[in-house]
Structure 1
């Protein structure tokens, strides 16, 4: 929404949230989320045509277009638990919008939702609005941006997708929203489609991207077993114009707020319409992601003489990827839990993730990470982990380092200094393949890199 305010100075944008602390942060010098370039965009138009408020009912009542970006987490209980999307927050938003609306509005789905959500939301809106003269047009306008590059993705998007009803009123609503994006997006990149295609396109895009990651992660295991190099394999197949080079990097696993949630949602949709084999196919992408994290933990344990009990392990990075403080579904959660379960003491450093966030993430049950109510979760793990504000402190006295987030800074650290202050043999487990492994071995490190030929020391350990 900040980008609309930035690119459209004639349009007033009000960002609403019932969380007073979050709105206060949006109105402060330190925004509640970290995203490169976001500060500049917000500060350029905040107070001009961009406002942040908790007065939800007032501003929704006054709005012509309402973008709904509430959470749609995976259900944790009841029918579809562990797969289906929980639309509680969407339904609540729809009921509130209907209750305060005295003029017709365009309601825009920005959250990732199951196919046919718009149909259900329209029923809620119409049945809860007291004024029969109020018309609601529902549009699906999913985001195709990535955290860490969101501002660039919004400034120069591959496409903007708008789905609406295939009737005159639906077409008019689509064009009204398209006119907003046309302030900076070329018309040929603004795609119009029906509601159901737009809703399914977002789920499918995330599923396809996650599938590529899981496919390469499966190949990384084969590379280690055969002596091949997963980065060379990825580089080779990435030159095939039918495949392309993106999302072909092996890693400790994918994370973030979308991939797992959306694939599970897709699996559930397939199951509900009787497509068992299709559901199983897409669920295997999640299975491979879990396997990769488990395999990484097992490599750490087996490399360090089959025990990490009471050993200090430095964790470099907790966010699910660089240039964001987002920790939802981050592989670091499962890796740290796996290491802690074997008795390790994890010392965690991440430049954008605070101690409270780490403790809360490690204490929160699976699928609860994206539920707003989880803020009250118990905080555990303070005896098993430490959070530090310096990467050198994290590695001081450590037996090994696990690099779990590809922050640029980790490639430029003084590893000679780090090596000198570690217990020997000193291990580095590169879960992102971002370090100079040859240089690290020259220093004296025992290096494990995903999908790379095994260090001679490790070959002996595995035999």
Structure 2
């Protein structure tokens, strides 16, 4: 059978002539804050005019030639931030570059401990099997599977790892400011600035510093100034390499990236640094998908990409409200509009709006940029996208009240789905949080919450932090977190679907088995040509059979491991804290029906149900922009928000 390409031991670091930083989530190292306004010195700004092949940024042919000729050797890569960006990205880079030592550092000891155990802190389909290969390694077998040395390391020793790295990628969290100037729209750069100062103190001369975090436009100037302040006279190159990952499909997005964006200064040294970073990705990404720009264009492109995707979601949700008031069907409208090749069908699924850590934050960052540039009309335009998203969330709560005679007193409401989207345990900016908070104000007897991937402690902690600990059942409130979906639905007056998990769809089929290795997750197989991505079948085979048997053991947990203890304490779902091991069958809606209270309301906030099938079972269904049988019989529908 096919085998993974054997790894070679990492060689000592060879400092390059540029530095790259990636940051997703890391404990703030100091309390300093960075300016988030776009003004700054023009000394770092490259020529922004269109460039020809001789004077401009690297085009496909010149990049390919540079890689073929003499791309600077990268032997040691350091990611700062072990979160939703740093962890998966580092794992895939390590998989495809067995000759490179990849280190992920974070000040959060608990997070690093979990990355080094069988309980990784985040869930992504395919991630766990990649970790088994690159973190744990494998031994040689009698078959064709060769030994592979581990080349992915998780540690809290930030200074040492930065000092040894050729390329440093900053992947720390850059949330929206909650207080002070620009609160509510500007980006909080405290963690990013603190990490940049630390990198400036410890990085080897000539190291490449890379912005992996989503940052305001012209942040590269801040990084360059910080490096010059702490290390005057020492040359560093600063690159922008934003991520374009979606939670739930991050491994697939990394394996089959539609583009890798690298921004650099328009100088010979900048081009050389960009080529060095491109060489890391070129081990599995075709060079025609590696785009080089000036560094500020790269920073702005990430904000614009997320803002325009969010704009499509808000646009279709605004039309869903029109459908509810006119009798049109949002699925039919979206299908007709999406058939126009100038528009396309993606991100035209109506529901309760977007969540996650990126869309809202990046739109607000773009709003703040426009405001500082004295472009109020631009700021107002993009702010309306966020306002429409909030409108979409509020409409579901309004409809729950309408269905239940405008009162929740003495009633039980069930919320199915806590993560902001399916196939992830990421709860940041989850619509479910706003909905639970709003429902709790209506004095219900109980709000039952269930999610197939989020753990009960995680959900309780997030709800308590967002809505106040007094809403939790343990403190006398109505919110109860369940690990069993049927327990959550038992005795409920209304069931709300707030995340589009396949488990919640109606139908007899089970959720298709989700292999730990998704499309190409096991990496390039032995004998696979360069830049050719292996198929899902090939990658699954690579971790099956002989290779799976030859993987080194998972590092043992400590005796007091809280995740192991949670598994032992959870009688309802022993594996609840290790969701990677399995997925459940689809929900038996017939069973749910007989355990609910009449009139059996289901409010589908994600459009995952076949309404006609649900109505045949006896349910009353409300769905965003889609007409139920009862509504069709009473046409014209009520004009409601």
> When the two structures are superposed, what TM-score results if normalisation uses the length of structure 2?
0.69
Report the Cα distance in structure 1 between the residues aligned to 2:316 and 2:169, rounded to whole angstroms. Answer: 36
Q: CA deviation at 1:121?
A: 1.4
**Of the candidates 104, 107, 112, which is equivalent to residue 18 of structure 1?**
107
Report the Cα distance in structure 1 between the residues aligned to 2:236 and 2:205, rounded to whole angstroms. Answer: 9
CA contact (8 A) 1:142 1:198 kept: yes
Deviations 1:163-182 (A, max 9, x none): 01011111111111011111
Q: Please give the residue correspondences for 1:179-258 in structure 2 after superposition, counting only pairs within 5 Å.
A: 179-258=279-358
**Of the candidates 186, 203, 228, which is equivalent to residue 101 of structure 1?**
203
Structure 2 unaligned blocks of 5 or more: 1-89, 137-149, 506-585
Report the Cα distance in structure 2 between the residues aligned to 1:445 and 1:320, rounded to whole angstroms. Answer: 25
Deviations 1:273-326 (A, max 9, x none): 011001000000000000011111001101111111221011110000000000
Q: Please give the residue correspondences for 1:61-460 in structure 2 after superposition, counting only pairs within 5 Å.
A: 61-129=163-231, 132-344=232-444, 345-365=446-466, 380-382=471-473, 383-411=477-505, 412-456=586-630
Pairing 1:34–2:123 present: yes
Q: CA deviation at 1:333?
A: 0.6
CA contact (8 A) 1:398 1:423 kept: yes
CA contact (8 A) 1:110 1:143 kept: yes
Q: Which has the higher contact order (CA 8 A, sep 6+)?
A: 2
> When the two structures are superposed, what TM-score results if normalisation uses the length of structure 1?
0.94
Q: CA deviation at 1:441?
A: 0.6
Aligned counterpart, 2:540: none
Aligned residue for 2:593, secondary structure, equals helix
Report the Cα distance in structure 2 between the residues aligned to 1:360 and 1:309, rounded to whole angstroms. Answer: 25
Q: CA deviation at 1:454?
A: 4.4
Aligned counterpart, 1:45: 134
CA contact (8 A) 2:261 2:293 kept: yes
Moved more, 100-109 or 418-427: 100-109
Report the Cα distance in structure 1 between the residues aligned to 2:366 and 2:180, rounded to whole angstroms. Answer: 18
Report the Cα distance in structure 1 between the residues aligned to 2:105 and 2:152, rounded to whole angstroms. Answer: 11
Q: CA deviation at 1:365?
A: 5.0
Report the Cα distance in structure 1 between the residues aligned to 2:279 and 2:197, rounded to whole angstroms. Answer: 28
Q: CA deviation at 1:360?
A: 2.8
Aligned residue for 1:364, secondary structure, equals helix
Aligned counterpart, 2:38: none
Report which of the two structures shows the higher radius of gyration computed on alpha carbons. 2
CA contact (8 A) 1:255 1:329 kept: yes
Deviations 1:36-72 (A, max 9, x none): 0000111111141111111110110111100000000
Report the Cα distance in structure 2 between the residues aligned to 1:438 and 1:23, rounded to whole angstroms. Answer: 48
Q: CA deviation at 1:384?
A: 1.7
Shift of the 457–219 alpha-carbon distance from structure 1 to 2, 3 Å rule, reads closer
Aligned residue for 1:46, secondary structure, equals helix
Report the Cα distance in structure 2 between the residues aligned to 1:436 and 1:22, rounded to whole angstroms. Answer: 40
CA contact (8 A) 1:255 1:331 kept: yes
Deviations 1:427-459 (A, max 9, x none): 000001101211111111110010012452796
Q: CA RMSD in A?
A: 1.7
Report the Cα distance in structure 1 between the residues aligned to 2:174 and 2:410, rounded to whole angstroms. Answer: 39
CA contact (8 A) 2:463 2:469 kept: no
Aligned residue for 2:307, secondary structure, equals helix
Deviations 1:346-386 (A, max 9, x none): 100101112332233233359xxxxxxxxxx9675332200
Aligned counterpart, 1:8: 97
CA contact (8 A) 1:322 1:407 kept: yes
Report the Cα distance in structure 1 between the residues aligned to 2:123 and 2:384, rounded to whole angstroms. Answer: 32
CA contact (8 A) 1:227 1:454 kept: no
Structure with the higher fraction of residues in helix conformation: 1
CA contact (8 A) 2:352 2:605 kept: yes
